[in-house]
Structure 1
Amino acid sequence: MDSADGHEGEARSLGTLVHDDDGTGAPPAAELPPIHRVSDGSEVSGPDSRRAWADAARPILEGVAGTYNATILDATLAEQVQVDSGVVSRQLSRYWIAKVMGLVAADCAGRDEPMLSALCIRTDGSTGGGYADAVTKARGEAPEDAEVHAAAERLACYQRMGAAMPNGGGRPTLTPEVAARRHRARSARGEPEFARTTCPTCFMVLPHTGQCDECE
C-alpha cells in the first residue's frame, strides 16, 4: 500500500517555519504563543487553528486519494497542514490531529462525499479511536467495525478522485498492518479460512464466499 509523505511539489518543511532572533524582527520561538501564525507570530486559538488545519488537509487528502490504496500517516499530515496553513503549534500533533480529522469528516458528510479522513492512518496502520467518533458525529451512526468502514470510505475516495483502479474496480482494502493483525488473531483462535474478512495474500476484503476474486 502506498503511503504519501506530503503532496507533490512541496519543498518546505515545518522546520523551516521556526522563528529565530535573526535580525528580521520575528520574535524568538521561546517568546511565541503555543499556537501562532508564522507570518507575524500572532496567537491563534485552538478552534481557529483546527479549522485552518482542516481546510489545509482537504487538498492534501484529495491528492492522496488520487492513487489507489494510498494513505498518509497522521504525523506527516499534521506537519504538512501546519506548513500549508502557516499556523503552527508547539504541542505534539497526537493531541490535536484527531480533532482536525473530525472536522474533515464533518465537512465531507456535509458535502455528501466519502470521508477523506479515512485516508489518514497511524503508524500501526489503523485509523485510531477518533475515526469512529468522527463518523458517529458526522453521520449519526457508529460504524460496526471502524477499520472495515474506513476501507470502504477509502475506496469511495479513490473512485471519486479518479484514481487508476484495478480490473473489476477494486475492493475495500484494510491496511496491511491491520489485515496482518486480524489474520494472526483469527489464526490463533483457530477460525476457518472462510471466516477471515481479508485475503492474507493481497489484503482485499473477502466476499461472503471466503474466496478472494483477485487471487483465484
Structure 2
Amino acid sequence: MTTKTEQLMKTWTPLAYDLLRDTAGTYGGVVTYLELSEHVQSASGQRTTMLLMNWVGPVLDMIAKQAHRAEDPPLAALCVKSDGAVGDGYLKSIEATTGGPVEDLQQRAAEDRLTCYQKFASDLPADGGTAMLTKQARAKKERVVRKPVAEKLQGDICPTCFMQKSLTGLCNNCD
C-alpha cells in the first residue's frame, strides 16, 4: 500500500470503529460495506477512487485488532456484504485476534454479532438475544437448503423392483 492509502486507512479506521459500535447499539443492526465506505469518506472529507474491495478488508482488520486490544467484542462482524454475509476476510480477522477453528463462518459471525449486541444494545431482548444470520443471509441459506425442483418431481423407489415409482405412488412395473 502507498503512504497515502495507509494515511487514509488510519483516518477511516476510528470513524468506522465508531460507526460499528453505534450499530451494535441496536439489536440486529448491521452495516454494509458500501454504507461503511460512504460513512468514513463523508465524515473524513477524504474520498478515494480505489475499489472498495481493495481497502475495506484492511480497515476491518485494523478494527478487529483494535476491538481485541480494547476488550470489545468483534465489531467487524457487524459489517456485511450486500447479501448480508460477512466476507472471507472475516476469517482472517478471527485468526488474527482470537484464533480457533471456524466451521461455519456465517454462523460464527452471527455469534460474534450477538456478543456485540449484548455489550452495546439498548434494545436487547430480556432473554439475552439469539445469534442469528442477517435476513438476507437466512434467505440465501434457505434457497440452498431447499430441494431442487427436479428432485421434488421424482417418485419414491419401489421396495420390490427398486425402480422409481410414478408421482401417484404406484410402481409401473409391480402395481
The TM-score with structure 1 as length reference comes to 0.63
The one of 36, 61, 64 equivalent to 2:23 is 64
Q: Is the 8 A contact 1:115 1:154 kept in 2?
A: yes
Does 1:109 find its partner at 2:68? yes
Name the SS for the 1:118 alignment partner.
helix
Range that drifts further, 115-124 or 76-85: 76-85
Does 1:158 find its partner at 2:117? yes
1:76 aligned residue = 35
Does 1:122 find its partner at 2:105? no
Q: Is the 8 A contact 1:135 1:142 kept in 2?
A: no
Q: How many residues align?
A: 147
Q: Which amino acid aligns with 1:48?
A: Q
Q: How does 1:28-43 map to 2 (within 5 A)?
A: none
| Structure 1: gaps of 5 or more residues | 1-42, 190-216
Compute the displacement of 1:44 (Å): 5.6
Instruction: Kindly provide the CA deviation profile for residues 159-182 of structure 1, in whole angstroms up to 9, marking residues without a partner as x.
Output: 111321123121001011211222
| Structure 2: gaps of 5 or more residues | 149-175
2:143 aligned residue = 184
Counterpart CA distance in 2 for 1:177 and 1:50 is 29
Compute the displacement of 1:132 (Å): 0.9
Counterpart CA distance in 1 for 2:44 and 2:35 is 14
2:105 aligned residue = 146
Range that drifts further, 70-79 or 177-186: 177-186
Compute the displacement of 1:116 (Å): 0.8
1:48 aligned residue = 7
Instruction: Kindly provide the CA deviation profile for residues 126-173 of structure 1, in whole angstroms up to 9, marking residues without a partner as x.
Output: 111111111111223342211111111111111111321123121001
Range that drifts further, 136-145 or 64-73: 136-145
Q: Is the 8 A contact 2:27 2:121 kept in 1?
A: no
Compute the displacement of 1:184 (Å): 2.5
Runs of 4+ aligned residues of structure 1 deviating over 3 Å after TM superposition are none
Give the aligned CA root-mean-square deviation in angstroms: 1.8
Q: Which has the higher contact order (CA 8 A, sep 6+)?
A: 2
1:87 aligned residue = 46
Instruction: Kindly provide the CA deviation profile for residues 95-149 of structure 1, in whole angstroms up to 9, marking residues without a partner as x.
Output: 2111111110111111222111111111111111111111111223342211111
Q: Comparing both structures, which one devotes a greater share of its residues to helix?
A: 2
Q: Is the 8 A contact 1:133 1:142 kept in 2?
A: no
